[in-house]
Amino acid sequence: MIHASLTELRAALDAKRISSVELATLFLDRIEQQNPALNAFITVNRDGALAAARAADARIAAGNAGPLTGIPLAHKDVFCTEGVLTTCGSKMLSNFVSPYDAHVVALLKAAGAVNLGKTNMDEFAMGSSNENSHYGPVKNPWDATRIPGGSSGGSAAAVAARLAPIATGTDTGGSVRQPAGHTGITGIKPTYGVVSRYGMIAYASSLDQGGAFGASAADCAQLLTAMAGFDARDSTSLERPAEDYAREIAAPANDKPLAGLRIGLPREFFAEGMAEDVRTAVDAALDEYRKLGATTVEVSLPNAKLAIPAYYVIAPAEASSNLSRFDGVRYGHRAAEYRDLAEMYAKSRAEGFGAEVKRRILVGTYVLSHGYYDAYYLQAQKLRRLIAQDFQAAFAQCDVIAGPTSPTTAWAIGEKADDPVQMYLSDIYTIAVNLAGLPGLSHPCGFGGGNLPVGLQLIGDYFSEARLLGTAHQYQQATDWHLRRPA
């Protein structure tokens, strides 16, 4: 059962071969055994999970089960969860027990899913390696000396190590796709606005988007279908008809199931900067797509090289505004000693925030300050528009864009800790997708040096999540990379 797909788990639960309580206990015991070595979970919700599992068993017995009823999952610790510690990986929120559920959490709870606990993450989702957590770094299940990617590294590591079959994450500049690539699983970030941000503690409001992790595209499709939906409490939530994101996932009708699909290969993604072991795996994956009937065409994203500088103006600017609420007054960490209100604010924030969060708050406050707003923030927003226009021009020539998820495989813990710019460059292929608000998916496509996973990124036009998932599924039907498991 540990390595079963969601379809197999659903069949086992419905046939009464295993109960939801037994299934939850199986994963909870596995977390207890393996989490000390991986540090993937901040909070394990054993009592809550078993109560939810008992309720799921009652629904199954009554014939009321949905696709996710009784299925265990994990939530990234950025989603508010009623009655459960919600820390955002920060000392600032180390004592915060949320009084309400995020919209995503509420939808999955209503679907009957069983929340095993809250996963570790870069503090306030700021990071590419999951080394910035107040609770310590998450370890990559393929090699515990290496990072799993960030900021949703805890969720990715939990699914890769099968501490949970599926998990939620958030993606601001690649924080679902990049850790999925580094841990050998599938992760999808939908179009901006498809998943509600209500109750998802904000980093950069115009970029943050909830996403899904699973071993396969088919598992991600089921989770995303349950997570997505309009929410009037989120002003950026899109009011659209409900979708079944698994609708294009089907057994191949013939040996050319992707006939007619045009895959765009941006010349900027295949220039210098990509490690040779990553290039080898990506090229082999593209050859497999051609065997499945797809054709590849060269496209250009001329402003892609400007995505990193634009992102690291816009995201810190929004973060400096969003994080101003954490002041030690209403909730969160408060300094033990202070002489007046101003010193309480200063000491509480100095003690509560880690180094990377402080760095981004300082940068964001600077670019929004008088005299610099026009020079930096406004220019970055203009670049953002150009990047989005580049994607639209590319999609006039292709249906899906493909390339590496990350320029290298997972690096050693601490290797880039003293070089923020090198750390930021690890997201060079993913950030432009967030700036344009497009959907993106990463699926495993092979292994590089040291037997470390390599991810292939698929990018689609707005609201093409089902196509991305269906495309990845056909690849996974023809290959077995998604079935490989760390020792």
What's the first-to-final CA gap in the chain, in angstroms? Answer: 17
In 111-237, which residue ranges form alpha helices assigned H by DSSP? 153-160, 177-183, 217-227
Question: Which two three-digit tokens encode residue 366?
Answer: 């600077």
- For 457, the enclosing helix (H) or strand (E) is strand 453-460
Annotated active-site residue in 90, 129, 152, 175: 175
Cα–Cα distance, 76 to 105 (Å, whole number): 10
Cα–Cα distance, 332 to 344 (Å, whole number): 13
Is residue 205 annotated as a catalytic residue, yes or no?
A: no
Annotated active-site residue in 20, 151, 196, 348: 151
Reported as half-sphere exposure (CB side, CA atoms, 13 A), residue 211 has a value of: 38
| CA 299 to each of CA 285, 296, 391, 396, 455: distance values in angstroms, whole numbers, following the listed order | 18, 9, 9, 10, 20
Provide the b/e sequence for 404-435 (b: ≥16 CB within 10 Å).
bbbbbbbbebebbbeebeebbbbbbbbbbbbb
Is residue 464 annotated as a catalytic residue, yes or no?
A: no
Longest dimension (CA), the chain: 74
Are 27 and 9 spatial neighbours (Cβ–Cβ below 8 Å)?
A: no
Own/partner long-range contacts of 52-58 (Cβ < 8 Å, ≥24 apart): 52/24, 52/109, 52/112, 52/113, 52/114, 52/115, 53/19, 53/20, 53/21, 53/23, 53/24, 53/25, 53/114, 54/20, 54/21, 55/112, 56/20, 56/112, 56/114, 57/19, 57/20, 57/21
Which residue is listed with tokens 């690539």?
181
Is residue 358 annotated as a catalytic residue, yes or no?
A: no
Going across the sheet that includes 186-189, the strands are: 41-44, 114-119, 72-76, 166-170, 210-214, 186-189, 440-447, 453-460, 400-404, 262-266, 295-299
Are 268 and 428 spatial neighbours (Cβ–Cβ below 8 Å)?
A: no
Annotated active-site residue in 20, 76, 129, 216: 76
Q: What is the DSSP string of 207-239?
A: T--EEEEESSHHHHHHHHHHH----TTSTT---
* Strand bridging mode 295-299 / 400-404: unpaired
Are 405 and 455 spatial neighbours (Cβ–Cβ below 8 Å)?
A: yes
> Which positions are catalytic?
76, 151, 175
